Chains A and B, each alone.
Chain A
């Protein structure tokens, strides 16, 4: 089983969300990057864009497939990882660290609590939720 940090929350679309004070940092899980294979392109929203929980906020493309990135929570994009478009391989190397994607100011903090816990996400993946 791929690495699933206990202090993060997860979506069924394989994004992680990390509470940082009143903000939420977002990326894709180690499982997701492993399934995608080598990431070759990442498209992120602009700073200031509004994202909506469970709706696409960007695109990740690998040698195998193109996938939408889904927002774990609704809110405004405060920062994006500007390095990713030039260095998409960071998503493979460090999905929970330097491979983060967006930093969101949530409009409804309650949404974070509705996400999967690390344990629930591990079970979801083990049950074939990845496919």
Chain B
């Protein structure tokens, strides 16, 4: 069967309808009498004219091309593509949560408020923080909120600090959130093994620096061995330390950002806490802080008074509201269900097994690929296709070939400080059998790169579309289908 590649617009047939409405039983009025002329179209929009059956078949066929966690291994580094337990979905669909109107009076929404209050408390305990805001809709918004709180904190002390330090191994969202918050971003070079260069850091921290923002474990999948010194160096100069929680899956129940000296950290519920990811659902990026930043939390904050929960809006020092209503509430229910079903011991075993799985993959592949940093890794391992590149086979080629062999590709070309990077994060929820199948495929590709590179460089051949021209798509973006073509 050839790949289905139609747009619903292309199925359109003039006059075809999916349903018929009864005559209106109230008198109609011409649109021009209801709306100002400047808002009216000259002609009807070119919406597809299709039957219900056309629509069902169209979307069913498209859905069969879907590639996701529930069908395939998805070792996308730094994304923590772990299994999302279905009990979370059941809980999010409990009518009392799912049908709760966001404007319901707090006294009639006590269950939902209690869930938010308790979830914030559990996240604070997991991270060693004093308070957590559940409002941010994604990790990047959590970063933004955290940096705004740091800015408000310095301003409240009458300090003018203009710079934020970020290592060159950081996720791209770090400099972006920081710049949007009004700071100048200063890049700090990492050591060749990906660790923070303490000498460089010591040179850069000063009275004009507001914060140092780092990811622990770092993006090379390594724990920062001198993290306590790092946070001390920063605090000695009045610099706040922010932990990007993207890699929290490696340290649950093992160590806590707050204990390491961090002032702020965010959580990606869609990574570590099994809420759907990417196209599967909106994200959630709660942000945790130490007590000195508490006055600046986004408002409103869920507060508990005796056995009653309320939304506290009277927070004069708050950085404001980040989201319509109360955050992506359905995601909060899922994360709550996950933490409650796992328990403290279960969360600890998450990180133990995530680290074990990544090291298993690294060990099985170290003979065929270069390892970016020798020694045990944390929850992900970063390989380099440096060796394969000499045969003309790049990280992109290997990623494409994996699609042919039935696996989603690892992250490629990130972190930027590793040549031809392949960043593999298996997560704790994969079986040894799956890890072995993946490693077998990677070893097969390494062999092909040596013996018959064309197989790898011409991949993929089994996917609905072959290799897409990313360069042309970026240089000449054509984002709109036109009915005249």
- Contact-residue bracket for chain B: 10 to 19
What chain B residues lie within 8 Å of A89 (beta carbons)?
471, 475
Distance between Cα atoms of A123 and B418 in the complex (Å) = 18
Distance between Cα atoms of A64 and B416 in the complex (Å) = 9
Q: How far is the CB of B133 from chain A (nearest CB, A)?
A: 30
Partner of B413, one of A40, A61, A65: A65
Are the C-beta atoms of A63 and B471 separated by less than 8 Å? yes
Are the C-beta atoms of A63 and B470 separated by less than 8 Å? yes
Are the C-beta atoms of A64 and B413 separated by less than 8 Å? yes
Are the C-beta atoms of B475 and A40 separated by less than 8 Å? yes
CB-nearest residue of chain A relative to B475? A40
A88 at the interface (CB under 8 A from B): yes
What chain A residues lie within 8 Å of B471 (beta carbons)?
38, 40, 63, 89
What chain B residues lie within 8 Å of A40 (beta carbons)?
471, 474-475
Are the C-beta atoms of A65 and B416 separated by less than 8 Å? yes
CB-nearest residue of chain A relative to B470? A63
Q: Which chain B residues numbered 170 to 208 have a C-beta less than 8 Å away from chain A?
A: 172, 192
Q: How far is the CB of A126 from chain B (nearest CB, A)?
A: 13
Q: How far is the CB of B210 from chain A (nearest CB, A)?
A: 19
What chain B residues lie within 8 Å of A61 (beta carbons)?
474
The SS class assigned to the B binding surface is loop
Distance between Cα atoms of A61 and B412 in the complex (Å) = 16
Distance between Cα atoms of A124 and B141 in the complex (Å) = 38
Partner of A131, one of B172, B417, B474: B417
Contact bitstring B440-471, A, C-beta under 8 A = 1, else 0: 00000000000000000000000000000011
Distance between Cα atoms of A40 and B470 in the complex (Å) = 9
B232 at the interface (CB under 8 A from A): no
Contact bitstring B301-330, A, C-beta under 8 A = 1, else 0: 000000000000000000000000000000
A82 at the interface (CB under 8 A from B): no
B419 at the interface (CB under 8 A from A): yes
Contact bitstring A52-76, B, C-beta under 8 A = 1, else 0: 0000000001011110000000000
What chain B residues lie within 8 Å of A66 (beta carbons)?
172
For the A-B complex with A38-B474, A131-B192 known, give 20 more contacts whose Cβ atoms are closer than 8 Å: A35-B419, A38-B470, A38-B471, A40-B474, A40-B475, A41-B474, A61-B474, A63-B470, A63-B471, A63-B474, A64-B413, A65-B413, A65-B416, A66-B172, A88-B475, A89-B475, A128-B192, A130-B419, A131-B417, A131-B419
Instruction: Please list the 3 inter-chain residue pairs (A to B) with the smallest Cβ-Cβ separation, ordered nearest first.
Output: A40-B474, A38-B471, A64-B413
